Structure 1
Amino acid sequence: MEAPTPHLLLFLLLAVSFLSASVADDGAAMLALAKSFRPTPSGWSTTSSTDCCKWSGVRCTSGRVVSINLEGLSLSGGLAPEISTLSELKSIAVQRNKLSGKIPSFAKLPSLQEIYMDENLFDGVETGAFAGLVSLQILSMSDNPEISAWSFPSELADSTSLTTIYLDNTTISGVLPDIFGSFASLQNLRLSYNNITGPLPPSLAKSSIQNLWINNQESGLSGTIEVLSGMTSLSQAWLQKNQFAGPIPDLSKSENLFDLQLRDNQLTGIVSPSLLPLGSLKNISLDNNKFQGPRPSFPSEVEKVTAEHNNFCTTKAGDPCSPQVMTLLAVAGGLGYPSMLADSWQGNDACGGWAYVTCDSGGKNVVTLNLGKHGFAGFISPEIAKLTSLKSIYLNDNNLTGVIPKELTSMANLQLIDVSNNNLTGDIPSFPPSVKFTHSPGNVLLGTKAGDSSTPGAGSKTNSSPGGSSGKNGGSKAPVIIGVIVAVLVFLAILVFVVYKFVMKKKYGKFRRTDPEKAGKIMVSDAASNGNGGGYANGHGGNNNFNALNSPSSGDNSDRFLLESGSVTIPMEVLRQVTNNFSEDNILGRGGFGVVYAGELHDGTKTAVKRMECSAMGNKGMSEFQAEIAVLTKVRHRHLVALLGYCVNGNERLLVYEYMPQGNLGQHLFEYATGRVTTKVDVYAFGVVLMEMITGRKALDDSLPDERSHLVTWFRRILINKENIPKALDQTLESDEESLESIHRVVELAGHCTARDPQQRPDMGHAVNVLGPLVEKWKPSCQEEEESFGIDVNNMSLPQALQRWQQNEGTSSMFHGDFSYSQTQSSIPPKPSGFPNTFDSNDGR
């Protein structure tokens, strides 16, 4: 046999040394554990750990400790933190002892699978104690009532193999983190007898939990229990003694559910056995809630049912409620069965003192339903139509969504219906002339389509004033929409002057003009290089300046040229080529005036081509088209998309813009708004734009730390102390004393526009009132080569600048002589009453 080579000997020596060191490390940890227990466990030593693998309850593999079981030995003392060095440990079981002190950190023990520490006297948990336990399957810590208040360990999201979490009676407080979608194998979750608050996390619906114990929280979990409808693996659900509200969801798909405990909550609505898995259900408790409707009747297979102290309309199971009561409960169902209605709508007689309900003189039939101004969410139930004697319906000033049921138009006795100040959508039903129908203010998306189905009847009252049809909401709303768009475009022009003072600097580049001869040379050169010659120009009325679009671009704004005409005409043939003949594959989106296609010019410039539909055109459509060209060819800013050109081809109108690879402004702004299209959301979005311009930051920047990534939240904190404002400004802004005074005005306006309470946000008229004086007093800080878009504003007021601008471009006729700054200014409402004069720390919270 050959002698081992020197390299093999060295390897064996290192391996033995490493193994010895590892055993030595485990020995040190085991010795520390032995010293931390009182009394010392039988067979353990506090002086030597040489034979620790032979100690009682200790199991080793290859000399490494993998399991420690000291269950039920009446041990006191603590659990030494050195346990975290047992890198091969798979199981630790110290339940049913009297151990105290803090539960040490087990963080990053890669092999740890089971932790049992129930029924002890631990008084705390090390921060991050369960982080990085990628193999953990069981965490059992129930009945440790001496632990100081702590939160559910969100670091368990790393433990994707968890099957069991027992943390009941461990003084957990606060809201549950929404991490349960990480636990694909989780079957048992017990969190009873803690002080967990807030709603159930939506991610519970993505779990496979079978046993859910969240009962008896000190203050009580709240919100609905709708998430249970997605937990189809449930077999036992204990939710008793909390503050849950709303109805029982559809649990019929939970085919193994046998035990459902819902007593002692604030649950409402009708208990329908059809929503429950009657094939498996054995026990159900419904006591001490606010359930309504008929007392439920369950089949004999359900062995135990308790349902005392609710608001059922009958006392005997299975007896029906009166039709009028059931109809009103259906109305409440559309609103999510609010608790306030459950408290007052009790018994089987709707005319027996029910709140918000008025009956006729005979006390038999409901004639008025007054549910306005309560902040109800949900939708309008078509069941209201079954209240055939109803004369007045008040649903105003809530948060209702959905459509107005057409069934309401057939109610013979209806005289009044008020749905104003909600968020309804869809068509406006045609009510008879005898019905006073109020749907505004509010409901900005209601009835946006033309046609009979979207307009009130000939005699409908669309405002609160009595009498015949006002006609204000009849017919198509296209003129109103066009007017709003034109107003927004004009406002953008005004905004540019304000932006110019604060933002436009040399680093952003300057747009300069060139003479037509120079531009023509660029075009002809480009056309020749593409082999097109003069064909394109001849294809569109002999206009030779369209090829400016195809001029070489370095990507620097300073190399772009604007023709003296202010716009560039592009032949239809070119647009067909760049959009692949307007292929469906090139569609970027659809808007109110047509379809937007992606295109790519011969030099690689990416464009967005808006092709206006013929049906959208007409005199007013043409005005909109002209106005958009007139304004956007003059507005140049790094945050605004540039209009590159246009095309008129028969009845078609096309606009060519720079392509926005990162989406439009709305896609970014609505990450912070509610997504509901209201004037208050528009004001909020405008405030975000102001903040972006002031700070030079994006509305949401994931590259920054969490506390700074959300611009509005960070900006509000800045506003608490105005001394911080200069530090938050864009580095490119002038910060002299005069500029800071104006900047503070804009900062204050941005804060008001993004107030949390929509009612505290001003209207856009107030915003213009604030910004207008700043524009009036603006003068360039130095004379440069720039011409302020071709208009010398040095000695002009804003109205003069606008008028001069229109005259230069011949655009004043586009507004039919109806527009003037003075008229706009006079129509601006004053600052709303109750709106704070200054922005202080209370607004910033």
Structure 2
Amino acid sequence: MREPQNPLLLSIFIIAIFSYTFTHADDSSIMAEFSQAISPTPSTWKAGTNPCNGWSGVRCDSSSRVTSIDLSSQSLQGSLPTDLNQLTNLQTLALQRNHFSGPLPSFANLSNLQQLFLDSNNFTSVPASCFSGLTTLQALSLSLNINLSPWVFPQDLIQSEGLVNLSASNVNMMGSLPDIFGKFLSLQSVRLSYNNLTGVLPSSFNGTGVQNLWLNNQMSGLSGGLDLLGTMAQLSQVWLQKNSFTGPIPDLSKCVNLFDLQLRDNQLTGMVPPSLMSMLQLRNVSLDNNNLQGPYPEFGNGVTVTIGTINNFCNPKPGPCDPQVTTLLDIAGAMGYPMNLAQSWPGNDACHGWTFITCDSQGKNVTVINFSKQHFVGTISPAYGDLASLRNLLLNDNNLTGSIPDGLIALPQLQVLDVSNNNLTGKIPSFPPKVNVKTSGNLLLGSGTPAGGGTGNGGKSSSGSTGNSSGGSSGRQSGGMNPGVIAGTVIGVLVFIAIVLMVSYKYYTRKQPKKFGRVPIPPPSGKEEASNNGSTSGGINGFGGVGLLVYEYMPKGTLSQHLFEWGERGTSPLTWKQRVTIALDVARGVEYLHSLAQSSFIHRDLKPSNILLGDDMRAKVADFGLVKNAPDGKFSVETRLAGTFGYLAPEYAVTGRVTTKVDVYAFGVVLMEIITGRPALDETAPEERSHLVTWFRRFIVSNNDVRKVIDPTLEADDETFENISKVIELAGHCTSREPSQRPDMGHAVNVLGPLVEQWKPSDGVDDDIGINLQLSLPQALQRWQANEGTSTMDFGGTMTFGNTQSSIPPTKMDTFGSTGR
């Protein structure tokens, strides 16, 4: 007789059967719910039947568990059941190219799911943790769900380490990409185009095996540099167009399979790498609408290239750049090719229209580079040593790192080197005594080695011949001040106070007491009938860096009178040579105000009635009653709206915030007035012509005959017209709606300078500014006493800069800017 079966084994068997039956029944119920939620229901999906027996698109395993659902491209509608993630054996879900809508269900914890295709539908939202626990996921495609509410990249995907293909283009994804891509060791394709991603490329892309990288057409734009691309050796297709990437194109020579590179419509700078042009597999390249520099790129046969006209190559066709241009581009390269250099260094002549650059009187050799307060990063390039004519190198108040190149000491003409307020390190080269070296504000710079050269006004510098070289010297003064220095300083202050007191006394004995403000001063003759020409102007007198405002008589009145009232006044209209010379004088004055003075100022009321003309028709900027100081480190200053309508920059009129670019805008309006002979606002003209800037822009943009905007009294011949055309272009540039698109005033000086055949300071420079800038304080006092009665000083009112230039002689530059910083 057989023994009865073990009750325990029988119980386990019954439980297993029950569990299987329950699970199978659960898959069936979920599929039945799915069937009811969509329309039209597939014809084979019959109610009450087993989904594993004949349901089209459904596959099951040997245990009758659902493993695959493929309903792609069937024009289905409806929403997905919320418990799809209970199909725990599901490996593939393909619902792409339908019309499913509503929120996505959570797919969390479908640990067997390998392929999830949801693209080209109308889903409306992605729940939190939707993709959590998908540990075997290889492909996720969600693209073209344009109705999704904004959501961010799902960090839960970090659990899907076997991910191969990721596609989520046009899904309203926003925010930055998380730094998790190094976890996806098998990742080959990343397609996230047409979203609103921001921020930089995650560093975890470094060295990954990604082959296809599509991040193009982000609404706000990804930004930062592209250096990471050079480490992604498996790249074959890179689409990054229509973003805000900056910096140079990296060396992609390791990406030997790269055949398609789309970089157009970014803000890339620098030179196209030669290695890119020699890549064997490359077939498609787009570079247009960037700020690329250097030689025009030349790709091999069989490569389709779009370059466009927006880039800033030195020549319009392949070939080397001018050696001086090449050197300056090397200098820019050490600082990452800053955007403002790329946008303001046009053409193949560094002495023609290059901002921050000043050349000698022949316009051939660079003599001054002024990069102060530009927020530049990077290092000081040894290439500066190739500019043999360089006299002044101003790199102060940036974020430069590294050391000062030793090669700078060999520059034969160098007079001033200012690297103060950076983050430089290392030793300071021993410069010749003639070089004024300024190094203050670099905490880790200068241990053990003197700077040589002259003193840098508080900078860490010492004379190579007289500096203390005892042990432990760091190039800084470690003891008390020299008694002679103290005595000289005290005497200088006392003399200066004496001058101020004498000036004040003379002013109050000559004038009746008046309310403080803008004070009109009669001409030297004292004749009342000359009062119409008695506009005051002030020249800056420098005494050891201290500026006084000097009033003087300007006999030719204002530019406004000569442009708009010459008929009533019985004078001749200005010639073009006079007009462009006046424009250059004004540009130099405002350039000084913005960047060459000891502090940066904003005029805020630049217009022809504030531009005064002397006997020689040389212009001086006047009426500084609205001048605003521009503090260091601030891009804009909020202030009460002031100025004159017609000259107000759009952003100033709307927000009340000013930068130096509001003066650039006003200068552009003045240029338009100089060109057209018409005022900025003309109430007597028809409405469509009453606002000069609008009319001028409309006329130029519509490609009408440009000659029609030119003042007919100029009777311009072909040569003059060519000259005027360059000023027309500059005027349009200066009045750009966006402040960032306007040039600095240094650029205006560089454009206008070559248009004036020869510019010399007026013969009476000393008289023009009141006191010779080269005199010592006692000499200045004697000179002032000798010329008593020729001018009146005050501490308010107006200033003029009629003889300032972007190429101010070094002695004058030192007077205005070397002390008091």
Q: Quickly name the TM-score band, shorter chain normalised.
A: 0.5 to 0.7
Q: Hey, what does 1:142 align to over in structure 2?
A: 143
Would the alpha carbon gap of residues 275 and 379 (structure 1) be closer, same or farther in structure 2, given more than 3 Å must change?
A: farther
Distance 2:477 2:428 in 1: 21
Would the alpha carbon gap of residues 350 and 72 (structure 1) be closer, same or farther in structure 2, given more than 3 Å must change?
A: same
User: Per-residue displacement from partner, 1:498-535 (whole Å, max 9, x unpaired)?
Assistant: xxxxxxxxxxxxxxxxxxxxxxxxxxxxxxxxxxxxxx
Q: Hey, what does 2:224 align to over in structure 1?
A: 223
How far residue 464 of structure 1 moved from its aligned partner, in angstroms, is: 5.5
User: Per-residue displacement from partner, 1:597-647 (whole Å, max 9, x unpaired)?
Assistant: xxxxxxxxxxxxxxxxxxxxxxxxxxxxxxxxxxxxxxxxxxxxxxxxxxx
Would the alpha carbon gap of residues 465 and 278 (structure 1) be closer, same or farther in structure 2, given more than 3 Å must change?
A: closer
User: Per-residue displacement from partner, 1:232-273 (whole Å, max 9, x unpaired)?
Assistant: 110000011111110001111011111100011110001122
Q: Hey, what does 2:315 align to over in structure 1?
A: 314
Q: Hey, what does 2:39 align to over in structure 1?
A: 38
Distance 1:97 1:473 in 2: 83
Distance 1:276 1:24 in 2: 63
Q: Hey, what does 2:402 align to over in structure 1?
A: 402
Q: Hey, what does 2:97 align to over in structure 1?
A: 96
Question: AA paired with 2:182?
Answer: G
The aligned runs of 1:691-840 (5 Å cut-off) are none
User: Per-residue displacement from partner, 1:654-702 (whole Å, max 9, x unpaired)?
Assistant: xxxxxxxxxxxxxxxxxxxxxxxxxxxxxxxxxxxxxxxxxxxxxxxxx
Would the alpha carbon gap of residues 471 and 147 (structure 1) be closer, same or farther in structure 2, given more than 3 Å must change?
A: farther
Q: Hey, what does 2:275 align to over in structure 1?
A: 274
The aligned runs of 1:594-673 (5 Å cut-off) are none
Structure 2 gap ranges (5+): 480-821
Q: Hey, what does 1:445 align to over in structure 2?
A: 444
Distance 2:233 2:468 in 1: 48
Contact 1:247 1:337 in 2 (8 A): yes
Distance 2:311 2:269 in 1: 9
Contact 2:455 2:461 in 1 (8 A): no
Contact 2:450 2:461 in 1 (8 A): no
How far residue 112 of structure 1 moved from its aligned partner, in angstroms, is: 0.6
Would the alpha carbon gap of residues 59 and 148 (structure 1) be closer, same or farther in structure 2, given more than 3 Å must change?
A: same
How far residue 308 of structure 1 moved from its aligned partner, in angstroms, is: 3.7
Question: AA paired with 1:416?
Answer: V
Question: AA paired with 2:338?
Answer: P
Q: In the alignment, does 2:414 pair up with 1:414?
A: yes
Aligned pair partner of 1:457 in 452, 462, 473: 452
How far residue 353 of structure 1 moved from its aligned partner, in angstroms, is: 1.6
Question: AA paired with 2:387?
Answer: L
Q: Hey, what does 1:27 align to over in structure 2?
A: 28
Q: Hey, what does 2:815 align to over in structure 1?
A: none
Contact 1:164 1:189 in 2 (8 A): yes
Distance 2:22 2:455 in 1: 90
SS of equivalent to 2:122: coil
Q: Hey, what does 2:59 align to over in structure 1?
A: 59
Contact 1:400 1:423 in 2 (8 A): yes
User: Per-residue displacement from partner, 1:361-398 (whole Å, max 9, x unpaired)?
Assistant: 11111110000111100000000111100000000000
How far residue 227 of structure 1 moved from its aligned partner, in angstroms, is: 1.3
Contact 1:253 1:277 in 2 (8 A): no
How far residue 7 of structure 1 moved from its aligned partner, in angstroms, is: 2.6
Would the alpha carbon gap of residues 2 and 119 (structure 1) be closer, same or farther in structure 2, given more than 3 Å must change?
A: farther
Q: In the alignment, does 2:292 pair up with 1:291?
A: yes
Question: AA paired with 1:351?
Answer: C
How far residue 151 of structure 1 moved from its aligned partner, in angstroms, is: 0.7
Distance 2:320 2:278 in 1: 22
Q: In the alignment, does 2:77 pair up with 1:76?
A: yes
Question: AA paired with 2:250?
Answer: P
SS of equivalent to 2:175: strand
Q: Hey, what does 2:758 align to over in structure 1?
A: none
Distance 1:80 1:434 in 2: 83
How far residue 302 of structure 1 moved from its aligned partner, in angstroms, is: 2.8
% identity of equivalent residues: 50
Please, what is the CA RMSD of the aligned residues?
2.4
Q: Hey, what does 1:610 align to over in structure 2?
A: none
Distance 1:473 1:144 in 2: 73
Distance 2:221 2:71 in 1: 35
User: Per-residue displacement from partner, 1:754-797 (whole Å, max 9, x unpaired)?
Assistant: xxxxxxxxxxxxxxxxxxxxxxxxxxxxxxxxxxxxxxxxxxxx
How far residue 469 of structure 1 moved from its aligned partner, in angstroms, is: 6.3
Contact 1:278 1:302 in 2 (8 A): no
Contact 1:388 1:413 in 2 (8 A): yes
Q: Hey, what does 1:385 align to over in structure 2?
A: 385
Distance 1:358 1:66 in 2: 73
The aligned runs of 1:201-600 (5 Å cut-off) are 201-275=202-276, 278-317=279-318, 319-440=319-440, 442-448=441-447, 450=448, 454-457=449-452, 463=458, 476-477=471-472
How far residue 3 of structure 1 moved from its aligned partner, in angstroms, is: 6.4
SS of equivalent to 1:81: coil
Would the alpha carbon gap of residues 407 and 337 (structure 1) be closer, same or farther in structure 2, given more than 3 Å must change?
A: same
Contact 1:30 1:49 in 2 (8 A): no
SS of equivalent to 2:31: helix
Say which structure, 1 or 2, has more relative contact order (CA 8 Å, 6+ apart): 2
How far residue 462 of structure 1 moved from its aligned partner, in angstroms, is: 7.5
Distance 2:273 2:468 in 1: 42
Q: Hey, what does 1:753 align to over in structure 2?
A: none
Distance 1:21 1:481 in 2: 86
Q: Hey, what does 1:17 align to over in structure 2?
A: 18
Question: What's the TM-score once normalised by structure 1's chain length?
Answer: 0.54
User: Per-residue displacement from partner, 1:798-825 (whole Å, max 9, x unpaired)?
Assistant: xxxxxxxxxxxxxxxxxxxxxxxxxxxx
Distance 2:436 2:475 in 1: 23
Question: AA paired with 2:175?
Answer: G
Distance 2:49 2:123 in 1: 26
Distance 2:51 2:123 in 1: 29
Distance 1:470 1:153 in 2: 66
Distance 2:455 2:234 in 1: 52
